[in-house]
């Protein structure tokens, strides 16, 4: 590379690193690792708060004592947290096992049905707009590299997006941890100082936690903190209201 080319490359790098859009895209790229777990975090925390507070609300509606609320709440946090974490882990592992089986199937077809698989690659690139010499060149390049060939078949024929760095056990652990931590907040007033005002403080704690968890999505997504918090607060509030009135209804029904 000549001196002029090096100077031009340096000018381009300086421009890119000071350009707002480039910096925004770089920030999004750096958020990718954390972003892949945001769904697990929000899902686990949201369900932990809602189900625990639903139990508290249902118990309050049925006028059950604080000791029963605590027992039901703690049992729900541990049992449901483990269940959700395990389900998320098994779901992710099943997806990876399915993708692995499909890759093995495509590999077998390349070995035993080579001409048919080459024709399928040709059809894929025709749909992308390739034709003539460009088409044949693309087919030749792809089919000359087995990994690229398999990757192309997985993505463009089967629609399977693989990510070898993705670990199902981490998704399960994040879901479990988010469920347990967030789920304890509506229960704290009953654990710290049970009394007539426990349900009121539980309502405030649950609502505040829902809003904060929803607002934290802005660290990863483009959703505004207020909108994210309000969405989770409304969904959780609706579930809690249903639980409370069902508890009150059943208590009146059986008393």
| Tens digits of residue pLDDT in 219-236 | 666 678 888 889 888 887
Instruction: State whether residue 24 is helix, strand or coil.
Output: helix
Question: In angstroms, what CA-CA distances link 235 with 210, 231, 244, 247, 249?
Answer: 9, 6, 15, 19, 21
- Contact present, 207 and 17 (Cβ < 8 Å): no
Q: What is the DSSP string of 34-82?
A: HHTTHHHHHHHHHHHHHHHHHHHHHHHHTT--HHHHHHHHHHHHHHHHH
Diameter of the chain measured on Cα atoms:
90
pLDDT value, residue 107: 92
Closest CA relative to residue 87, chosen from 43, 150, 42, 30: 43
128-169 pLDDT, tens digit each: 888 888 999 999 999 999 999 999 999 988 888 877 777 899
**With 50 as the cut, is the pLDDT of residue 31 above it?**
no
Report CA dihedral (208, 210, 212, 217) to the nearest 10 degrees.
-170
pLDDT band at 18 (very low <50, low <70, confident <90, very high): low
Say which DSSP state 154 is in: I
Residue, of 153 and 249, whose pLDDT is higher: 153
Residue 97 burial (C-beta neighbours within 10 Å; 0-12, 13-18, 19+): exposed
The domains of the chain are located at 36-254
pLDDT band at 15 (very low <50, low <70, confident <90, very high): low
pLDDT value, residue 125: 92
- b (16+ CB within 10 A) / e for 18-36: eeeeeeeeeeeeeeeeeeb
Alpha-carbon distance 219 to 35, whole Å? 9
**Residue where the block lists tokens 């039901």:** 72
Query: How far is the first Cα of the chain from the last one, in angstroms, to the nearest whole number?
Result: 88
- In percent, how much of the chain has pLDDT > 70? 84
Average pLDDT value over all residues in the chain: 82
Alpha-carbon distance 179 to 247, whole Å? 23
> What average pLDDT does the segment 70-93 reach?
92
**Residue where the block lists tokens 């958020």:** 31
Alpha-carbon distance 237 to 244, whole Å? 10
175-214 pLDDT, tens digit each: 999 999 999 999 999 988 888 888 889 989 988 988 988 8
35-58 pLDDT, tens digit each: 677 778 878 888 888 888 888 888
Q: Let me know the angle formed at the C-alpha of 23 by 17 and 25, rounded to the nearest 5 degrees.
A: 125
pLDDT band at 28 (very low <50, low <70, confident <90, very high): very low
pLDDT band at 24 (very low <50, low <70, confident <90, very high): low
pLDDT value, residue 181: 93
Which of the residue ranges 1-15, 72-86, 89-103, 180-194 would you say has the lowest mean pLDDT? 1-15
């Amino acid at each position: 590379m000549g001196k002029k080319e090096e100077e031009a490359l340096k000018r381009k790098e300086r421009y890119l690193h000071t350009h707002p859009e480039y910096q925004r895209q770089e920030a999004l790229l750096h958020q990718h690792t954390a972003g892949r777990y945001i769904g697990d975090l929000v899902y686990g925390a949201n369900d932990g708060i809602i189900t625990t507070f639903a139990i508290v609300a249902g118990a309050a509606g049925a006028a059950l004592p604080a000791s029963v609320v605590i027992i039901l709440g703690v049992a729900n946090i541990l049992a449901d947290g483990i269940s959700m974490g395990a389900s998320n882990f098994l779901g992710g592992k099943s997806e990876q096992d399915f993708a692995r089986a499909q890759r093995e199937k495509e590999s077998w077809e390349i070995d035993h049905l080579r001409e048919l698989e080459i024709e399928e690659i040709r059809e894929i690139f025709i749909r992308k707009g390739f034709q003539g010499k460009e088409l044949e060149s693309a087919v030749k390049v792809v089919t000359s590299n087995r990994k690229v060939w398999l990757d192309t078949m997985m993505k463009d024929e089967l629609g399977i997006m693989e990510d070898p760095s993705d670990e199902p056990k981490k998704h399960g652990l994040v879901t479990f941890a988010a469920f347990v931590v967030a789920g304890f907040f509506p229960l704290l007033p009953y654990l710290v100082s049970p009394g007539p005002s426990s349900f009121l403080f539980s309502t405030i704690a649950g609502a505040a936690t829902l809003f904060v968890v929803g607002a934290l999505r802005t660290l990863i997504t483009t959703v505004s903190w207020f909108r994210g918090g309000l969405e989770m607060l409304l969904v959780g509030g609706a579930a809690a209201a249903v639980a409370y009135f069902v508890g009150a209804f059943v208590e009146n029904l059986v008393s």
